[in-house]
Amino acid sequence: MSILLLLFLCLSLPYALICGLSSPNQIPKHYVIYMGATNPSSNEINGDIAQAAAAELAHLQLLSTIIPSQESERISIIHNYKHAFRGFSAMLTEDEAHLLSDHSDVISVFPDTMLQLHTTRSWDFIEGKAGRLSRWGLEKHVTSDIIIGILDTGIWPESPSFNDEGIGPIPSRWKGVCLEGSDFKKSNCNRKLIGARYYANEEKTLDSPRDSEGHGTHVASTAAGAPVTNASYFGLARGTARGGAPSARIASYKVCSSEGCYGAAILQGIDDAVNDGVDVISISIGSGTSSEFFEDPIAIGAFHADQNGVVVVCSAGNYGPEPFTVGNTAPWIFTVAASSLDRDFQSTVLLGNGRGLKGSAIFLKLSRSAIHPLVFGKDAAPNSSVALEASKCYPGSLDPKKLAGKIVVCADDEEPLSLRGWKRQPLVEEAKVKGVIFIEKEEGVVPSVTGIFPYVEVGKIAGSQILNYIKSTKKPTATILPTVEISRHKPAPIVAYFSSRGPGELTENILKPDIMAPGVNILAAMVPKIKEAVGKKLSKFSMRSGTSMSCPHVSGAAAFVKSVRRRWTSSMIKSALMTTAKTYDNRRKVLTNSSSHIANPHEAGSGEMNPIKALNPGLVFETTTQDYLQFLCYYGYSQKDIRSVASNTKFKCPEHSNKELISNINYPSISISKLRRNQSKVIQRTVTNVGPSNSAYIAKVQSPKGLVVKVIPDKIVFTKGLKRAPFEVSFFGNKEAASGYNYGSITWFDDRRSVRVVFTVNLD
């Protein structure tokens, strides 16, 4: 009888404690419930408290229909999205989440996952210099009411980069706030830093807009920092540090703690930023895996921000150089890869046999470099069973007694750069080594800032010479010489080794990343609380590397273009920056990657951004809401969900939707995921003339052998009456064409302008 009763209880009360406790699915977790666009009419009365309360009440009612009354304390909303889009977040069990996802008002329900900052984390970080920015000549275009919203780890308001001297009053349209926190006052905001918000997390470690990590401060100052002369990292990278749009305003949205960034908070940050009135949103955050667009907080938030006229710029990720690693790939996102600057930091490893080998390093010299015994990690293993781990210097695999007082050599083979930091610290703290030489599996290494600790990374050629030397002698020794700054380094830019590569995992029919910008050794503002170097004073600036650093360069550039071209939409700004991007390095040769091969569009997108040229692109590709909605149809979303996302009850998906048609949305690059040999495929595009009204353009094609590309028509004459013109591109791979991805470009030329559209075609 008792068994029967129990069973019965389980069936009739699936959420009751008796059954729920036993299953991990029934432990409530934080979920995001996404419900599409806000009703356009309610947008007008955004500030209306009654309206907001009504929406919250409706969400609570929805929750109460699925959460059992015994657990009524869970009928509560953690984040409420109401400005740019509708939805909320709450604690739900897996079953409840599933039930909610079937509700007709709900588009998607997904767990609140933790995303990561896109810097390469080591002890400290790497960063470069604003020298390149000052060459943009931005002084001439000082306009100051563009607002960049930074979603990151918060901000250090006292940094000289956020000084508001010479900046006019806060734009009257600004609706944001400067939230106070435990260590942050309203007076910390000024005419430069006009807004600061933070979003409490479950652990309550987030209670102020202040940055304690450094990432947000660094990114914000790269996008829009005021010029600061004589900035340096303890003398390295000395120069004037400043943002891409030095007179733009900054609004900081702290959605990350030092552990990471919660998706639900990112959505709240975007919702607020749009309502506050930002023009550009900069997000140097992502995850290593791709979620479906409607389950990806950045993709959802960015879609609605774009609908509200905001440019959304995101980092591509640091998961390169393998293909299919690029993140933030929605077509309404501006996705940024990282490149090197023409400045490098090198350190020479002097071997006992007199041989000097160059490596990458950023450490500060405290005392004289001394000669120390040299040991390969593998030879410092306690026993042979951990020899492989020891050769890579994994924590716990080395015998500290065999390391003390020596320089240790570690050889890495596959770890993405972002995972490496954790290996180093135990080495120094536990084993009292005098220095570390890290052998990368390739050339083109990116230095790490390591305070006063001699840490040098070498490529595989120098690495094998070091290992051979160790083998050749009984008592190998070495000296690591101090870091020297190399300016006017060539070639530059090159694609950074770590930069995530296309194609995108979700669809290969949109070419990603879009563009490339500096992301190696970038010098920018730092939280001076962070001790970057033992025995040295605190530094207000530091160097970091990552697509986290390249993203705000493009955010600043987009703000710059917008400040001059007021009426351009987000997609016009993106198109202008893409079609004018540079494809040559400082040797006047085609851009390369870190192993000296020509950089393809899956690595560099359209090329290295060139903001000054983007002001006069001649022609632009406008990617409209209609394009984005069709993209969603082609991708496979239901018409019902798309209508709700678009707040357009009349929208109809094209009759025959399939993923191949994605190639046809009016994007400033072209990608074809599948082309049969001996069959042709025709792609449509439309250009809008933003140059002189009477102009004539001729198309020129650059394509690899065997791939026949024709532009029809190949001449377009614009007149006063003709602003937009369609054209077609046909692709045909004959027997001479190589299988796999073929890369090339189509360029529209008039007398003075060139509009370059890169393409990738995957041939059978």
Ligand X SMILES: *[C@@H]1O[C@H](CO)[C@@H](O)[C@H](O)[C@H]1NC(C)=O
Q: If binding is defined by CB under 6 A, does position 735 make contact with ligand X?
A: yes
215 is annotated as an active-site residue: yes
Query: Which residue lies nearer to ligand X by CB, 94 or 443?
Result: 443
Q: How far is the CB of 391 from ligand X (least distance, A)?
A: 14
Q: Which stretch binds ligand X (CB under 6 A): 84-92, 378-386, 418-426, 511-519?
A: 378-386
Q: How far is the CB of 695 from ligand X (least distance, A)?
A: 36
Place of tokens 């006292």: 158
Q: How far is the CB of 418 from ligand X (least distance, A)?
A: 15
Q: How far is CA 580 from CA 618, 705, 743, in A?
A: 9, 25, 18
Q: How far is the CB of 53 from ligand X (least distance, A)?
A: 53
Question: What is the distance between the alpha carbons of residues 479 and 604, in angstroms, rounded to a whole number?
Answer: 37
Query: Which residue lies nearer to ligand X by CB, 19 or 388?
Result: 388
Q: Which of 355, 597, 640, 724 binds ligand X (CB under 6 A)?
A: 597
Other beta carbons within 10 angstroms of residue 14's beta carbon come to: 15
- Look up residue 726 and give its amino acid: P
Q: Which of 154, 157, 321, 617 binds ligand X (CB under 6 A)?
A: 321
Q: If binding is defined by CB under 6 A, does position 595 make contact with ligand X?
A: yes
Q: In this structure, are strands 372-376 and 477-480 parallel, antiparallel, or unpaired?
A: antiparallel
Secondary element (H or E) of residue 154: none
Q: Indicate which residue of 118, 124, 144, 152 is catalytic.
A: 152
Question: What is the distance between the alpha carbons of residues 368 and 225, in angstroms, rounded to a whole number?
Answer: 36
Residue of 118, 129, 154, 127 whose CA lies nearest to 242? 129
Burial of 169 (0-12, 13-18, 19+ CB in 10 A): exposed
297 in Cβ contact with 152 (< 8 Å): no
Q: 495 to 514, contacts with ligand X by CB under 6 A? A: 497
Query: Which residue lies nearer to ligand X by CB, 315 or 594?
Result: 594
> Alpha helices of 473-569 — where are they, by DSSP H?
547-564
Q: If binding is defined by CB under 6 A, does position 442 make contact with ligand X?
A: yes
Q: How far is the CB of 676 from ligand X (least distance, A)?
A: 8
Query: Which residue lies nearer to ligand X by CB, 277 or 493?
Result: 493
Q: Indicate which residue of 159, 247, 548, 673 is catalytic.
A: 548
Triad 614, 620, 626: Cα angle to 5°:
130
Question: What is the distance between the alpha carbons of residues 741 and 734, in angstroms, rounded to a whole number?
Answer: 14
Q: If binding is defined by CB under 6 A, does position 537 make contact with ligand X?
A: no
Q: If binding is defined by CB under 6 A, does position 593 make contact with ligand X?
A: yes
Q: If binding is defined by CB under 6 A, does position 647 make contact with ligand X?
A: no
Q: Which stretch binds ligand X (CB under 6 A): 161-169, 482-490, 594-602, 696-704?
A: 594-602
Question: What is the distance between the alpha carbons of residues 423 and 420, in angstroms, rounded to a whole number?
Answer: 6
Q: Which of 69, 172, 383, 649 binds ligand X (CB under 6 A)?
A: 383
Query: Which residue lies nearer to ligand X by CB, 231 or 646?
Result: 231
Query: Which residue lies nearer to ligand X by CB, 442 or 505?
Result: 442
Dihedral sign for Cα 303, 306, 308, 312, please.
positive
Q: Which stretch binds ligand X (CB under 6 A): 107-115, 193-201, 309-317, 379-387?
A: 379-387
Helix (H, G, I), strand (E, B) or coil at 52: helix
Query: Which residue lies nearer to ligand X by CB, 350 or 386?
Result: 386
DSSP 226: P
Q: Which of 58, 200, 366, 386 binds ligand X (CB under 6 A)?
A: 386
Question: What is the distance between the alpha carbons of residues 193 and 195, in angstroms, rounded to a whole number?
Answer: 6
Place of tokens 């940024």: 336
Query: Which residue lies nearer to ligand X by CB, 402 or 582?
Result: 402
Q: 177 to 236, contacts with ligand X by CB under 6 A? A: 230
412 in Cβ contact with 463 (< 8 Å): no
Q: How far is CA 666 from CA 468, 545, 555, in A?
A: 55, 33, 22
Question: What is the distance between the alpha carbons of residues 481 and 347, in angstroms, rounded to a whole number?
Answer: 6
Q: If binding is defined by CB under 6 A, does position 135 make contact with ligand X?
A: no
Q: How far is the CB of 592 from ligand X (least distance, A)?
A: 8
Q: If binding is defined by CB under 6 A, does position 720 make contact with ligand X?
A: no
Q: How far is the CB of 589 from ligand X (least distance, A)?
A: 15
Q: How far is the CB of 79 from ligand X (least distance, A)?
A: 39
Burial of 385 (0-12, 13-18, 19+ CB in 10 A): exposed
Query: Which residue lies nearer to ligand X by CB, 250 or 380?
Result: 380
Query: Which residue lies nearer to ligand X by CB, 597 or 652?
Result: 597
Q: How many helices (H) and strands (E) does the chain have?
A: 18, 36
Question: What is the distance between the alpha carbons of residues 155 and 166, in angstroms, rounded to a whole number?
Answer: 21
Q: How many residues does the chain have?
A: 764
Q: If binding is defined by CB under 6 A, does position 360 make contact with ligand X?
A: no
Q: Which of 352, 382, 704, 706 binds ligand X (CB under 6 A)?
A: 382
Q: Indicate which residue of 79, 215, 304, 372 is catalytic.
A: 215
524 in Cβ contact with 550 (< 8 Å): no
Question: What is the distance between the alpha carbons of residues 382 and 396, in angstroms, rounded to a whole number?
Answer: 10
Q: Which stretch binds ligand X (CB under 6 A): 163-171, 362-370, 591-599, 685-693?
A: 591-599
Query: Which residue lies nearer to ligand X by CB, 133 or 237?
Result: 237
Q: Which stretch binds ligand X (CB under 6 A): 175-183, 197-205, 410-418, 592-600?
A: 592-600
Query: Which residue lies nearer to ligand X by CB, 207 or 399?
Result: 399
> Alpha helices of 65-181 — where are they, by DSSP H?
94-101, 131-134
Six-digit token pair at 602?
A: 């899956």
Calculate helix-pair angle for 297-307, 625-635, nearest 10 degrees: 150
Question: What is the distance between the alpha carbons of residues 747 and 729, in angstroms, rounded to a whole number?
Answer: 12
Place of tokens 């083979």: 413
- Kindly state the number of chain residues that form the binding site for ligand X, as judged by CB under 6 A: 17
Query: Which residue lies nearer to ligand X by CB, 205 or 596?
Result: 596
> Cis omega (within 30 of 0) on the bond before 227?
no
- Nearest-Å Rg of the Cα atoms of the chain is 27
Q: Which of 39, 64, 353, 385 binds ligand X (CB under 6 A)?
A: 385
Q: Which stretch binds ligand X (CB under 6 A): 4-12, 159-167, 208-216, 381-389?
A: 381-389
Q: If binding is defined by CB under 6 A, does position 594 make contact with ligand X?
A: yes
Other beta carbons within 10 angstroms of residue 731's beta carbon come to: 24
Q: How far is the CB of 337 from ligand X (least distance, A)?
A: 11
From residue 390 to residue 419, the character string flagging contacts with ligand X as x (rule: CB under 6 A) and all else as - is ------x-----------------------
Q: How far is the CB of 593 from ligand X (least distance, A)?
A: 4
Q: If binding is defined by CB under 6 A, does position 303 make contact with ligand X?
A: no
**Residues known to be catalytic:** 152, 215, 548
Residues contributing to the site for ligand X (CB under 6 A): 230, 321, 382-383, 385-386, 396, 442, 497, 593-595, 597, 600, 677-678, 735
